[in-house]
Every structure is written in structure tokens, then in C-alpha cells.
């Protein structure tokens, strides 16, 4: 929920994860990384789970921007994104379900192997 005073003062634009956009596909093509492709697939699956979660919904999905502007698309760089950016957010999303957080963190990590 957003405070009504804020809602009155700002415009809101709903953005979708753009894993299928031409710009993102171009970005991915700059990196010859099967792990990057697998991570995108895992994030798509995670987004379906998030969207179906009654306490979250589609506004909480993980966007493509986490994978934009990569330096080299190495496993180390991707692991840092998962461990330092995405996993902590999942911990906030599912603060009451440590097992779900661990499962999804493991699935994202497995994509990088």
C-alpha cells in the first residue's frame, strides 16, 4: 500500500519484466554464457511463483534490469547478483517461509553451474 499523499503527488507506471524484449536479447547476446541463459529461465520460473503468491503478486516480480550492464557475464558476477541482490529480496518477500527462500536461492544458484 502506498500512502495516499504520495499517490496524489506522483504518477505511477506499471513496468513488466522485459526478458523477451529486443533490447534485452541484444544485451544477452553480448555475453556467451549458457549460465546467463539458464539464470534467465530460472528467473522466469521464480516470477511465475511470485505472481501466483497471494501476498505478493505480479508487482513483485524480478525484473530484467538485474542482468543489464553486466561487465562480463561471468559466473562470479552472476553469483554476486543472486547472492547480494536477489536472495536478500526473496528473504524480505518470504520472511515467514525460510524453506521457500532457500529453495529458490538454491535453484538460482544451480542455474549458474
User: What is the predicted pLDDT for the residue at 71?
Assistant: 94
Euclidean distance between CA atoms 32 and 15, whole angstroms: 27
Kindly report the pTM of this predicted structure. Answer: 0.88
Q: What is the mean pLDDT of residues 2-31?
A: 88
* Choice between 97 and 9, residue whose per-residue pLDDT is larger: 97
Tell me how far apart the 2 most distant CA atoms of the chain are, in Å: 47
Domain positions in the chain: 16-110
Q: What is the mean pLDDT of residues 79-94?
A: 98
79, pLDDT greater than 90: yes
* Choice between 59 and 6, residue whose per-residue pLDDT is larger: 59
Euclidean distance between CA atoms 46 and 58, whole angstroms: 11
Amino acid at each position: 500500500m502506498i500512502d495516499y499523499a504520495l499517490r496524489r503527488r506522483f504518477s505511477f507506471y506499471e513496468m513488466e519484466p522485459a526478458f523477451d524484449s529486443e533490447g534485452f536479447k541484444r544485451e544477452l547476446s553480448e555475453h556467451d554464457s549458457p549460465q546467463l541463459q539458464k539464470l534467465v529461465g530460472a528467473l522466469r520460473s521464480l516470477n511465475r511463483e511470485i505472481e501466483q503468491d497471494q501476498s505478493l503478486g505480479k508487482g513483485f516480480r524480478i525484473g530484467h534490469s538485474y542482468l543489464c550492464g553486466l561487465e562480463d557475464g561471468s559466473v562470479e558476477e552472476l553469483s554476486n547478483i543472486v547472492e547480494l541482490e536477489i536472495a536478500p529480496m526473496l528473504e524480505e518477500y518470504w520472511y515467514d517461509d525460510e524453506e521457500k527462500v532457500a529453495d529458490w536461492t538454491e535453484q538460482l544458484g544451480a542455474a549458474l553451474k
